[in-house]
Amino acid sequence: MRLFRFRGVSITPEGVYYVLVLLFIVTGALIRNFQLLMILACMMVGPLVYNMTVVFRALKRLRFSRKLPHSVCAGDPLLIELMVENTTRKNTYAIVVEDQVRLLEGGAIKSSETVDIFFARIGNHATVVSTYRGQINQRGKYRIGPLRTTTAFPLGLLRNSFSVDVIDELLVYPKMGRLTPQWKRLIEIEQTGFAASRRQHGLLEGDFYGIRDWRAGDPRQWIHWRTSAKRGQLVVRQFEKQNQQDISVIVDAWIPKKPSDEDLDRVETAISMAATIVSDLAAIGGCHLMLVCNGTKTSIVSGTVSQSMILEALGNLATLTPVSSNQLNDALSQTLQESKHSSKVFILTPRYVDISDTEMFEGIWRDTQLRSELGRVNVLSSAEEKLDTYFVMHTEDGLDEDSTLWEAQA
């Protein structure tokens, strides 16, 4: 509790003891009419006035800025640079800057952390940079700031502090894992079962790599007339066959009304697997992806995989907030209607889901057309042990997955 505050200046506990001693001396001087004690009391007022003057001016013309990455994956090292510029002609000493890290969106556990950065000396008309590093182990959209600066230099009797509205946002993507060879074989098997998803691209889509003799059934536009005239027989241009994977992924971020730690871990495992699938598809050209994030709000990203699409998909996964209501029927219905018929649909869920459950998927089973599409739906549940055969989460010993670790260094 602050006993005194004027324009951001407050008294410290040490200052309270100092004032009590000063009052004791003044009281004694008045009672005893002792002039030396009165002189001593007047001398003790000087340090208070001096300390107030210094701390009030110390923070008056400091300028702050922050530099941080736009995004980072949960569990990865995070470096943030904090820059302080002193625009006065005097040096400033012993400044403590408190930075706040608060979860705004995404994740089931709301968290807030503070980081203290100490600047021993900021020269006149100089800029000092301090870096603090940390590790955010929970995905989501975070707000960094505002800053709160404090100094009690030089005597520590009075403290000056005020807030600086230097606010940035940081997107923390889900923690990545590793897809096993069994997952890749599952995709290949499923894609083989759908001829449309392993299509041969036409003349303008394939990569030209050679010429061969004409065969019955070859399109006329493939004929290479100049070479045919030289050889005296028809030859055609030959193109590579390209495989295109069409995948639709539904992330079912469902939790019970009173979730346990195990329930929350299952949701995060499903979301991490979806993020790993998205990142893995980024290395494969020509893939078509439809990602449906089903939580407090439903977001859909669909199209040919590109860098911008990957960032949008990972952003949706980062801010996906679990929900206790059952919305999987609507999400699956929308996916079956909007996805390609050649696309295989994967439901990543933290609970046990049975496609044949006519109560959970009542709307789909009543629709003849949607019911016929259920053959291309696969359910992968993090509540079942067999998920480990397709996805492995990266873990590091000695780290608490719910903690946020910070360390500041000048």
**Amino acid sitting at position 317:** L
* Residue burial 31-64, b: 16+ Cβ < 10 Å; e: rest: eeeeeebbeebeeeeebbeebbebbbebbeebeb
Strands (E), 153-269: 158-164, 168-173, 177-179, 208-213, 235-239, 246-252
- Asked whether the beta carbons of 93 and 128 are under 8 A apart, the reply is no
- Strands of the sheet with 62-67, listed across from one edge: 62-67, 77-86, 127-136, 404-409
Where do the structural domains in the chain lie, given as residue ranges? 5-58, 62-174+405-409, 177-197+244-393, 208-239
For the chain, 410 residues long, give each residue's pLDDT as a single digit of tens.
455 556 678 899 999 999 999 999 999 988 888 888 889 999 999 999 999 889 988 888 899 999 999 889 998 999 999 999 999 888 999 999 999 999 998 876 777 889 999 999 999 999 999 999 888 989 999 999 999 999 999 999 999 998 999 999 999 999 999 999 899 888 776 554 443 333 433 333 444 557 778 777 677 777 888 888 888 888 887 654 444 568 999 999 999 999 999 999 999 999 999 999 999 887 776 688 999 999 988 899 998 888 889 999 999 999 999 999 888 999 999 999 998 887 889 999 999 999 999 999 999 999 998 998 998 999 999 998 888 899 998 765 444 444 455 666 55
For 177-197+244-393, CATH gives: 3.40.50.410
Query: What is the pLDDT at residue 4?
Result: 57
Q: Which residue has the tokens 């078509």?
A: 288
Q: Is 329 helix (H, G, I), strand (E, B) or coil?
A: helix
Decide: residue 232, CB within 10 A, 0-12 exposed, 13-18 middle, 19+ buried: exposed
Sign of CA dihedral 381, 251, 186, 73: negative
Query: What is the pLDDT at residue 108?
Result: 66
* Integer CA distances (angstroms), 196 to 176, 191, 243, 272, 342, in order: 31, 9, 10, 29, 6
For 62-174+405-409, CATH gives: 2.60.40.10
To which H or E segment does residue 300 belong?
strand 298-304
DSSP letters spanning 96-112: EEEEEEEEEESSSS--E
* Integer CA distances (angstroms), 94 to 154, 160, 275, 373, in order: 8, 12, 44, 67
- Asked whether the beta carbons of 245 and 281 are under 8 A apart, the reply is yes
Query: What is the pLDDT at residue 403?
Result: 46
Query: What is the pLDDT at residue 313?
Result: 94
Query: What is the pLDDT at residue 244?
Result: 57
Measured between alpha carbons, how far is 87 from 154 in angstroms, rounded to an integer? 20
Q: Is 148 helix (H, G, I), strand (E, B) or coil?
A: strand
Measured between alpha carbons, how far is 343 from 323 in angstroms, rounded to an integer? 27
Strand partners, 349: 381
Q: Is 208 helix (H, G, I), strand (E, B) or coil?
A: strand
Decide: residue 130, CB within 10 A, 0-12 exposed, 13-18 middle, 19+ buried: middle
Short-list 290, 294, 289, CA closest to 317: 294
Domains 62-174+405-409 and 177-197+244-393 share a fold: no
3-state helix, strand, coil in the chain (%, to 5): 30, 35, 35
| pTM of the entire predicted model | 0.78
Integer-rounded Cα radius of gyration of the chain: 33
DSSP letter at 41 equals: H
Measured between alpha carbons, how far is 88 from 41 in angstroms, rounded to an integer? 33
Termini Cα distance of the chain: 31
